[in-house]
Structure 1
């Protein structure tokens, strides 16, 4: 990782996963499931967590908005896209509510924790598979 990326990561209150993220743990995760099943699992996962509130779910657009109201407050947008039958991508965007210029890596560690839990609930296929799947 370059100096610019490291500084950006340190001085940020927002973390987003992507297909080509330099941090492998923050790359798009793929699951062997249909989009609806993934959305249902995410909804069930957040419903069981104390302080997590599912504000909105759009099955049509594959998006879910979740607010964290306990501990470090945060706002999450989860995007679920079925790229092929039984191959579904999940991305997170987390904004931490803080008066400081940084969340000290909280948003990134939250994403890693959520991916780990989701990996236990669904059949994990891999990360950053976009270029492989588009062939």
Structure 2
């Protein structure tokens, strides 16, 4: 049984995409909820990715609550989705991917990008427990 866990961790390490979701088995990659309007959340997300040396915002769709950006150094594409739950409560999810193969595996770096983004958001806006 241990070999299956080991094999799964190797396969995961070489995945070229990482995403968050409500029931993700990895607690660090579970959807986060924030007490903020969708429009203000999008503005705060723009702010945490405003470092033009590191990121380039490709498009913003306020109607759909999504931002598409690229992390320049590592050729990583990031899609941030802001999903309204109720007034002043929004879920924020990330989908992070790369086309670039890495000998040590891309997944740890993709996961770290998500964790860092959630940490930066947590310093700007109030997180809440999901009341779904």
TM range (shorter): 0.7 to 0.9
Are the counterparts in 1 of residues 55 and 70 from structure 2 also a CA contact under 8 Å? yes
1:79 aligned residue (78, 81, 87) = 81
Larger Rg over CA atoms: 2
Residues 20-42 of structure 1, C-alpha deviations (whole Å, 9 max, x = no match): 00111100000000000000001
Question: After superposition, where does 1:17-36 map in structure 2 within 5 Å?
Answer: 17-36=20-39
1:55 aligned residue (34, 54, 58) = 58
TM-score (norm 2): 0.87
Aligned to 2:91: 89
Superposed CA RMSD in Å reads 1.8
Distance (Å, rounded) in 1 between the aligned partners of 2:35 and 2:14? 35
Distance (Å, rounded) in 2 between the aligned partners of 1:91 and 1:73? 20
The gaps in structure 2 that reach 5 residues or longer are none
Structure 1 runs of 4+ aligned residues shifted over 6 Å read none
